[in-house]
């Protein structure tokens, strides 16, 4: 990877205290078989482990952005794409690793895609090797429902662990909303793209492995059931609500939003009483109401701006939604989550 060569692909990796996993990620990018110049950009978010030493000693070819302060996933990715030189950008988690043909598959699909939108690859669990998803559909309340159908290419969203799009489209969409901090920015960007008439797709070929939940905690079920953190749950519930408000076509929003907030409140009261955990209600569920009030003007302005540029009809927009309650499915399968 010659720094003087104009790259066609920029792989952007946000890292915070990922010294134990980052090497696998970077090695997988360096092992790609794609016949196109690639640059690798890593944003280190003020890590306190050996991440910087690893990058400087083992990967001098990487373009390193070393932040003095921890700024979060959204700002980290916005900074990397602002510095990227490639025609296409792949946002890749530090706890993920690409199959050798991943970039070649994504580039081929991007050239074929009309219009060029967002792409990802089938995701496999790092430990078990089991298929996790081929992108996600959404339930009525914007909870991701894993798609495992190899015949379905068009999906509602793909997760930010492996998200590909052209740099021009990123700039048109405005990148990640920095006030989201982390979590849900991928949901927002994919909904934003589909509203504007751009597809979100997952090809049948290529793949990546992912240590789910390593980079942010939680986000997976194991033998002990569901486990997450207060911070992750707070950001997830808040940012899904933000995405719903900003992106949902008006006629549906006035039905979905009150129902969503009612059910979210019931969920919060029920889990808080079940767990005898006032902190859960205070930080996560009541926090959604506080955030909606505090950022009401920003949400209103963002919604007006995005809805005015909408090209997709409501029918097309909701094509990736399913009448299935993801949280209920998970509750029946794994029980109430442990939150730490």
Q: pLDDT tens-digit profile of 38-53?
A: 999 999 999 999 999 9
pTM: 0.93
Rounded to whole angstroms, the Cα distance separating 333 from 224 reads 12
Q: Are residues 206 and 224 in the same domain?
A: no
Q: Are residues 135 and 38 in the same domain?
A: yes
Measured distance CA(263)–CA(139) in Å, rounded: 14
Bridge partners (DSSP) listed for residue 280: none
Same domain, yes or no: 38 and 126:
yes
Instruction: State the CATH number of the domain containing residue 201.
Output: 3.90.550.10
In a domain, 322, yes or no: yes
Q: Is residue 291 part of a domain?
A: yes
Q: What distance in Å separates the CA atoms of residue 340 and residue 328, rounded to the nearest whole number?
A: 21
Are residue 201 and residue 241 in the same domain, yes or no? Answer: no
Measure CA 154 to chain center: 17
Q: pLDDT (tens digit, 9 = 90+) per residue, 150-171? A: 999 999 999 999 999 999 999 9
Residue 261, domain member (yes or no) = yes
Q: Is residue 215 a part of any domain in this protein?
A: no
194 and 137 both lie in a single domain? yes
Helix or strand or coil: residue 265?
helix
- The mean pLDDT value for 246-251 works out to 94
- Residues 112 and 176 reside in one and the same domain: yes
Question: Is 110 domain-assigned?
Answer: yes
- In this structure, the answer to whether residues 195 and 235 fall within a common structural domain is no
Reported as a pLDDT band with limits 50, 70 and 90, residue 131 is: very high
- Looking at 177, 210, 243, which one is the last position of a domain? 210
Q: Is the pLDDT of residue 219 over 70?
A: no
Domain count, the chain: 2
In this prediction, residue 303 carries a pLDDT of: 96
Query: Is the domain of 198 the same as that of 285?
Result: no
245 and 183 in a common domain: no
Q: Is residue 146 part of a domain?
A: yes
Shared domain for 206 and 267, answered yes or no, is no
Provide the percentage of residues in the chain whose pLDDT is more than 70: 95
The neighbouring-strand residues paired with 40 are 11
Tell me the residue range of the domain where 130 lies. Answer: 9-210
Res. 7: pLDDT tops 60: yes
Query: For residues 35 and 95, is the Cβ–Cβ distance under 8 A?
Result: no
Q: Taking a C-beta distance cutoff of 8 angstroms, is the pair 134, 148 a contact? A: yes
* Token representation of residue 285: 């569920």
The residue out of 189, 210, 231 marking a domain boundary is 210
Domain boundary among 210, 238, 257: 210
Same-domain status, 24 and 136? yes
Contact present, 280 and 219 (Cβ < 8 Å): no
User: Are residue 124 and residue 28 in the same domain, yes or no?
Assistant: yes
């Amino acid at each position: 990877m010659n720094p003087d060569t104009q790259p066609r692909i920029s792989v952007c990796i946000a890292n915070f205290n990922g010294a134990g996993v980052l090497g696998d990620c970077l090695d997988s990018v360096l092992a790609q078989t794609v016949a196109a110049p690639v640059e690798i950009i890593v944003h280190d978010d003020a890590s306190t482990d050996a991440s910087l030493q690893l990058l400087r000693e083992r990967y001098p070819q990487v373009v390193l952005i070393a932040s003095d302060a921890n700024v979060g996933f959204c700002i980290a990715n916005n900074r990397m794409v602002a510095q990227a030189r490639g025609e296409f950008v792949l946002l890749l988690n530090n706890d993920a690793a690409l199959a050798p043909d991943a970039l070649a598959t994504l580039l081929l699909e991007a050239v074929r895609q009309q219009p060029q939108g967002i792409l990802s690859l089938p995701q496999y669990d790092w430990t078990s090797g089991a298929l996790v998803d081929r992108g996600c559909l959404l339930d009525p309340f914007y909870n991701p429902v894993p798609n495992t159908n190899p015949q379905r290419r068009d999906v509602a969203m793909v997760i930010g662990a492996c998200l590909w799009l052209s740099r021009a489209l990123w700039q048109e969409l405005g990148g990640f909303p920095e006030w989201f901090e982390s979590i849900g920015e991928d949901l927002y960007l994919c909904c934003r793209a589909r509203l504007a008439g751009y597809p979100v797709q997952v090809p049948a070929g290529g793949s990546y492995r992912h240590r789910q939940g390593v980079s942010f905690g939680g986000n997976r079920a194991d033998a002990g059931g569901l486990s997450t953190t207060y911070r992750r749950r707070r950001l997830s519930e808040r940012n899904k609500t933000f995405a719903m408000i900003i992106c949902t076509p008006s006629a549906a929003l006035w039905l979905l939003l009150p129902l969503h907030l009612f059910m979210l409140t019931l969920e919060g009261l029920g889990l808080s009483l079940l767990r005898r955990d006032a902190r859960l209600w205070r930080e996560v569920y009541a926090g959604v109401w506080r955030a909606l009030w505090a950022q009401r003007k920003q949400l209103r302005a963002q919604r007006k701006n995005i809805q005015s540029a909408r090209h997709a009809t409501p029918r097309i927009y909701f094509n990736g939604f399913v009448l299935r309650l993801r949280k209920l499915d998970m509750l029946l399968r794994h029980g109430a989550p442990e939150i730490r």
